[in-house]
Amino acid sequence: MTDKPSASRARALAAELKELRRQAKLNTKEAAEQVNISSASLNRTELGTRMPSIEEVSALLVVYGVTGVARERVLEMVRMAKPSGWWEIGGSALPKQLPTLMAFESQATQITHFQPLVVPGLLQTHAYMRAVMDRGGIPYDEAEPRVRARAGRQIVLTGEKAPRYFAIMDESVLRRPFGGRKVMADQIRKIIKLSDLSNVTVQVIPFERGGYPLYGPYVLLEFGKARDIVYLEHKQASGFLDQPEDTDPFQPLTDTLKTAALGSAETSEFLAGIAAEYDKE
């Protein structure tokens, strides 16, 4: 990865500053005049195409009346803008990047999620979420906020401007019974139900198809007028890739995985068969 300003962080900062300006009940011209910059510069900042200096953001936060922890959080986004991508190391009850991921999901025109390990988060039932977190050793008081947050994210699939959503899973995801047989049967039925939505496509790569390029899970987010972003998440590190040289390889990889997988209709039949197996006592 090259040492370029982070596009993902610039876009996250843009959304943050735009909302803070609205809360302050100022238009861009009024806000720009108070910090002695052009309204065009502020507009580019709020579009995520320009990364402002820390001095400029600090001045804007004064104008917007933002203080304390909220102020420091926004300034930290500017301080960390230099490295390509945006990474968070270590665990927490709710990842700091979660609001940004949710914003990107709501802005995306297409989302592709490849999962060789567990059911993609946007398709999970509450019981399955809890089972996965329990097996991951996440304490109840940390797991419940994550469950609520993940469930809240799922509304993106049924909103007025819902993105096109592709979920690609390995068969092993469906065979690993997190929470037991009933939880898995209910989980698979939820996947089948969501796959009936016109904007949702689910594909499974069955064991019988043999090998395919083995990579970890990823989320490829595509936008109408902005470049792609890839989100990677692991136990102790998660983050965004936003430079073309880093994100471009995920397009042909996605095409390869889709080719290896069953078609959507075949997948629905395949899922129904596995759900029936779990239903058997």
Domain ranges of the chain: 7-79, 86-279
Does 218 have pLDDT greater than 90?
yes
Percent of the chain with pLDDT over 90: 46
152: tokens are: 């809240």
Query: Over the stretch 20-73, which tens digit does the pLDDT of each residue have?
Result: 999 999 999 999 888 888 888 899 888 888 888 877 888 888 889 988 888 888
The whole-number pLDDT of residue 25 equals 92
Q: Which of 161, 162, 163, 187 is nearest to 173 (CA)?
A: 187
Tokens linked to 184: 């898995």
Average pLDDT over residues 74-79: 78
User: 7-79: which CATH topology?
Assistant: 434 Repressor (Amino-terminal Domain) (1.10.260)
Domain 86-279 bears CATH identifier 3.30.870.10: yes
- The arithmetic mean of pLDDT across residues 64-85, rounded, is 75
Average pLDDT, integer, range 177-191: 96
User: Which pLDDT value is given to residue 266?
Assistant: 96
Give the dihedral sign, CA 15/246/118/91: negative
pLDDT in tens, 94-152: 455 677 787 788 888 999 999 999 999 999 999 999 999 999 888 888 888 888 888 88
As a whole number, mean pLDDT of residues 143-170 equals 89
Is the predicted pLDDT of residue 237 greater than 70, yes or no? no
> What pLDDT was estimated at residue 145?
83
Q: Which long-range contacts (CB under 8 A, 24 or more apart) does 261-266 make?
A: 261/168, 261/203, 261/204, 261/205, 261/209, 262/203, 262/204, 262/205, 262/206, 262/209, 263/203, 264/195, 264/201, 264/202, 264/203
Distance CA 54, CA 41 (A): 14
Confidence of residue 81 (pLDDT cuts 50, 70, 90): low
pLDDT of 6? 58
